[in-house]
Each structure stands twice: as structure tokens, then as C-alpha cells.
A and B are shown apart, each in its own frame.
Chain A
């Protein structure tokens, strides 16, 4: 255990473990959250299933099997990208619970990233089972990607999506440093409005007008859900794939520096409330 990297790893492994335990302390709320996800999938599934009820119909470049695969892919990609614990950070800042972490020799970002990973791990395990069950019930035509480039591209874009979402939320969570009562509002704006609508979590973004799509392609949002799924479905050329990975990588770097700078200033303004 003399290796410093190994030591550090065991530290975050402990965080991973306790975070995992913690999820089980809220069994009911976790199950409800998963149920909500399934119901959402049902609704979206039947909506598109109806739209595509005519044989051989193609809308916005989607045939029935690709659209239904998109919907199914949402379960997995949502679980990987959008399941997070970082929503608690704003509360930590405004209620002063952040203090408990700052006085301990642990990196706050890595701490939360580890907690996110543990939450994602749990969610993806459930999402896998759910997908299987839904697949058996609904028996949708499912598009299975076999091209290795698309599969690798999909995995890379998922990792980038997780980083983008993590960094976005961390930046938003710094709002209460200056305005303690605005933490929730800021989160609502980002997670509910912006992310749900602009990421492709509700509908594939290519049904939007072309001009809007090209504007969106410069923002980080489509790279959260829409882009990884497009890659999986094989709907993008290699050029577009590389461009997308480049744009989202640039966003990861930009957001990383933004997050660092915002938090450095935030911590100076921190008042460690709560007493």
C-alpha cells in the first residue's frame, strides 16, 4: 500500500462502498425512481409505436425499429448519464454541510464523482434488468449495432456525456455560495428545462428544424443523450462522429476550467453557514 495512487484509490473505493450502502437505505425511493423511469419509457414507446403503426413508414429518417431502439436506448443512456448525486451539492453549500468535507483530507470533486459512479453503477444494473423485462413484454424490433467503430464511438461519447453533465451540475451548484436560497431554482432550470428538452431525453433532436439543430450542435446539451444514441444507431458518418467527440471534448475542458474558477471564488465567499 505504499503506492500513493493505490492509497488514493482505496480512499475513493471506500466512498463508493458507503455511497452504495446509502442507496439501499432509501430502497423505496429508489424503486419509485426506477418505476417512474419505466412509466416514462412506456408512454414514449406507445406514442411512437402508434405513429409508426403504418407498415414501412419513415419519419425524420427514423423507421419503426430505429425509433423504438432510440426509446429503449434512452433507458440505458439516461441511467448512465443523468443519474447523479451531485444534485445534493447545492444544498450542502447553502446549509453549510460542505464544511464537513472541507475539513477532511479528501477532494470534494473526486468525492462526488465517485458517488456519481456508484449511483450510475446501481442504476445501470437496474436499467439492464428493466430493459430485458420490457423487451420481453413489448417485443419491439430492436436494432443491434455490430459496427465496432460505432460501438467504440458510443462508449467514448457516453464517458464524455457523463463528464459534461457532472461539470454542468457542479457549476450550477456553486450558485448558493452567493445566493443561498437560489440553489434549487438554478438546478431546476438546468436539469429539468435545459437538459430534458435540449439533450434528446424526450425526443430525438433531429426532428427539430435544421437551423435549430446546427445551433444546438455547438452547445454541450445534445452530447448528453442524443449524440451517443445517434452513434449507436449508426446514424452518423465517421466525420460527424469525430466532430461530435471533438466538440464535446472541448466542452469538457472548458467546463472543467469554468468549474475550477467558479469554485475557487465560491470557496472564498463561503460563509460556512449553519450556526
Chain B
């Protein structure tokens, strides 16, 4: 009996994050329009329950970097907030590094970090270095360790010149990098990143991605990342969890999601002469038409037949067959197109 318990404990230890049957409801006051509406709602407030999360279950291994995706309002941020102890779950079981986040014990908080794109912990009126110093004290980071980690982060994110400038005078991109440093000084083992590249330009986005990838590998940190940016997911994550309307739609390899979802292939062809457009429509859906280039989308099964047909009946100079891009698949997932998966994991 004893042994068995030890074993289950050990298994639990390997999991960084466990979420089982998590439900979260919000109470919201419904307000009617206009002044009279405001007055009515002041005296007889109408409450409405919003079901933000409906029985979700998934887990993260230690050191895993998982993408958490879904359209706006799907419940991603709510999940992150529950995992970091900000929100009280309505029902279900959650554990992060063996802790119940809601207790917000200092030992737990010292090992995690929540980075939200627009929420800032940097003191607006002071240079960032002051906030860093404060965090050094709050997280009880030994001086030597602090110097080393700070140096490393500062040079990786290239912010040496920004440390002593009032935060309010910095650009969004500069600020985001400094926010990240403030969130990482205590070298968290679990990192919740909410839209880490939002509002950044392409170069800064790439820097941020390289950094996250590196941090995950070097610190064996567990990272759960939400993003709207296709590149973030394609470049960073192997596994994704797709959520919509508070329910998990998919949980597995990004490749698998694409395989399941990519029911069509794209045929790109270059015409040597003008041809009758209508006839293309009989073969597949026209995605793009810019003479001499035509892009057709056809069901996977008939790709071979379709291309033979095309080559036979049209004046074609060149023809290529491609998979639909990850970006456009994820875009479709975001739009809420149905993905169904036999409940795995």
C-alpha cells in the first residue's frame, strides 16, 4: 500500500501542471442601456452566470513548452489566472508543482511567473532597475545570483542602455523586454506567458521567441504560452491545447492537429496562355487568381487525379502541390471551425 502511494506521488511529481475537470463561472451584472438602465441595475441588479471554463482537463510535463490557443474569450487567460492563483476555481482539481495555486504560498509563488502582455509590474515613474531591485528583495534572491541572472538577461534582451530610464519614457517593445526581465529574475520553474509578442514589431517578436525557446531549454522550465501569433506557435511549440468556449477541442502534437485539419491541398500553377477560368472551378476551389498564377484548393484524396486533369486540359508552364500552411490552419481553428478529437491524454 505504502509503495503504491509513493509511486503515484512520484508520477505526480513529474507533472508540472495538472488540471482536472476545472470549471470557472463568473457572476456578471447585466446592465441595460442608458441612464435609466444604470439606475435599474443599481437597485435590482440582474445577475448572469458566465461559464468561462467548462470541465477542462490537461497536463504538462516538467520542462514542456505547450501552446494554448483559441479565439478571443475562449478561456485561455482565465486558465492562466487560475493556475497562478489569481482566480478562485468554481470546481475541479488543479496542481502546479505540487501546490494548490489558490493558497499562494510563498514557496509556490517563488517558482512561478505570470507574464501578461499588457499588465505591467514595472513602476511606471521609476527606472526599471528600481523594480528589479525590489524583486530581488521580494524573491530573496542572493546578491551574487541576482547580479549574474540580471547580467545574462540584460545582454540577451539587449536592454543595457534602458535600465536607468524612467519606464514611462520607453517604447512598448522596450518595456516588454524589461517586463520579461522583472518576471524572470527569480528564475521561475513554471512560466505562464500570455501573448508575449503582442504589439511588438517583427524583429522584436523574433528576439522574444528566441529568448523563450532558449529559456525553456536552459532552465528546463515548464512554459504554457497563449498566443494569437501563428509564428509563435509554429516556431516554439510541439504540443498545443486548443480551447474554445471554455472547452478543450484538441490536445496533442501540433503536427497531428495539422494532419487532422489539413483535408485539402493547394495546387499552384502557372499558365502559359489565358484559359477559361470557369473550368478550374469544376476541379477545385479557386483560392487566388492572378494571371499567370492560379491557386486551387482540392481535397487530399483527389490531388493526383486533379493534377493529371489540369495538366491534360490546360496550357500549364509549371505546377506545384503544397500542404496548407500552419498559419492558415490555425487561423481556421481560431475562427472556431470544428476540430474533434477522440479524448486523448
Contacts and interface: CB of A to CB of B under 8 A. Distances in A.
A99 B106 contact: no
B38 to A, nearest CB: 10
A21 B126 contact: yes
B81 A272 contact: yes
A13 interface: yes
Interface stretch (A46-54, A116-124, A243-251, A263-271): A263-271
Given A14-B133, A18-B126, A100 B120 contact: yes
B178 interface: no
A14 B134 contact: yes
Contacts of A104: 109, 121, 135, 138-139
Interface in B108-162: 109-110, 112-114, 116, 118-121, 123, 125-126, 130-131, 133-140
A103 B137 contact: no
Interface stretch (B83-91, B253-261, B323-331): B83-91
B338 interface: no
Contacts, number: 78
Nearest to B81: A272
B88 A268 contact: yes
Given A18-B134, A103-B114, A106-B138, A267 B126 contact: no
A271 B137 contact: no
B59 interface: no
B27 to A, nearest CB: 8
A99 B123 contact: no
What DSSP secondary structure best describes chain A's contact surface? Answer: helix
Interface in A1-29: 7, 10-11, 13-15, 17-18, 21-22, 25-26
A58 interface: no
A148 interface: no
Nearest to A15: B134
B179 to A, nearest CB: 10
Given A11-B140, A104-B109, A270-B86, A25 B125 contact: yes
A275 B77 contact: yes
Contacts of B139: 104-105
B104 interface: yes
B133 A99 contact: no
Nearest to B107: A105
B123 to A, nearest CB: 6
Interface string B179-221: 0000000000000001000000000000000000000000000
B88 A103 contact: no
A182 B255 CA distance: 49
Interface in B26-83: 26-27, 77, 81
How many chain A residues sit at the interface, stated as a range, is 20 to 34
B119 A96 contact: yes
B131 A271 contact: no
Contacts of A270: 86-88
A209 interface: no
B104 A18 contact: no
Given A11-B137, A99-B81, A271 B87 contact: yes
Contacts of B26: 271
A159 interface: no
Nearest to B104: A102
A61 interface: no
B125 A100 contact: no
A103 B123 contact: no
Nearest to A271: B26
A99 B116 CA distance: 10
Nearest to A267: B88
Contacts of A96: 119
A104 B86 CA distance: 11
Interface centre among A97, A271, A274 (most CB of B within 10 A): A271
A149 to B, nearest CB: 40
Contacts of B86: 99, 102-103, 270, 272
Nearest to A98: B86
A97 B134 contact: no
Interface centre among A97, A103, A269 (most CB of B within 10 A): A103
A104 B131 CA distance: 13
B116 A275 contact: yes
A104 B140 CA distance: 11
Contact of B123 (A22, A105, A269, A272): A22
Contact of A11 (B112, B126, B138): B138
Contacts of A7: 140
A21 B137 contact: no
10 pairs of A and B residues whose beta carbons are closest in the complex: A14-B137, A25-B125, A105-B106, A105-B109, A100-B121, A268-B88, A272-B86, A11-B137, A103-B114, A18-B134
9 contacts: A14-B134, A21-B126, A99-B119, A102-B104, A104-B121, A104-B138, A105-B110, A272-B86, A275-B119
Interface of B: 26-27, 77, 81, 84-88, 104, 106, 109-110, 112-114, 116, 118-121, 123, 125-126, 130-131, 133-140, 166, 194
Interface of A: 7, 10-11, 13-15, 17-18, 21-22, 25-26, 96-97, 99-100, 102-106, 267-272, 274-275
Given A26-B125, A100-B120, 12 more contacts: A17-B133, A99-B114, A100-B121, A103-B109, A103-B113, A104-B138, A104-B139, A105-B110, A106-B138, A270-B88, A271-B26, A271-B87
